[in-house]
Amino acid sequence: MNYDLSGRTMVVLGGTSEIGLAIVSNLTRCGANVVFQGTKPESAEKVTKACAGNPGKCTFKKADLLNYDEVLEVFRFAEKTYGPVKAAVCSGAPLKPGPMLFKDMTADDMVNGYNNRLIPRLFGLRAATEVMAPHGYGKVILISTDAGRTPTPTETIIGSAGAFVNYLARSAGRELARDGIRVNAVAITVTEGTAAYKRLEEKPVFSKMRQKAAFGLIDTADVANYVLYLTAPESDRISGSTMSLNGGLSFPGY
Pick the CATH number of 9-241 from 3.40.50.300, 3.40.605.10, 3.40.50.720, 3.30.70.260: 3.40.50.720
CB atoms near residue 202 (< 10 Å): 7
CA–CA distances in Å: residue 146 to residues 94, 202, 228, 248: 18, 21, 19, 11
pLDDT at residue 254, as a whole number: 61
Q: How far apart are CA 159 and CA 81, in angstroms?
A: 37
Q: What does each of the 254 residues of the chain score in pLDDT, given as a tens digit?
A: 789 999 999 999 999 999 999 999 999 999 999 999 999 999 999 999 999 999 999 999 999 999 999 999 999 999 999 999 999 999 998 889 989 999 999 999 999 999 999 999 999 999 999 999 999 999 999 999 999 999 989 999 999 999 999 999 999 999 999 999 999 999 999 899 888 878 878 777 788 888 889 999 999 999 999 999 999 999 999 999 999 999 998 888 76
Where do the structural domains in the chain lie, given as residue ranges? 9-241
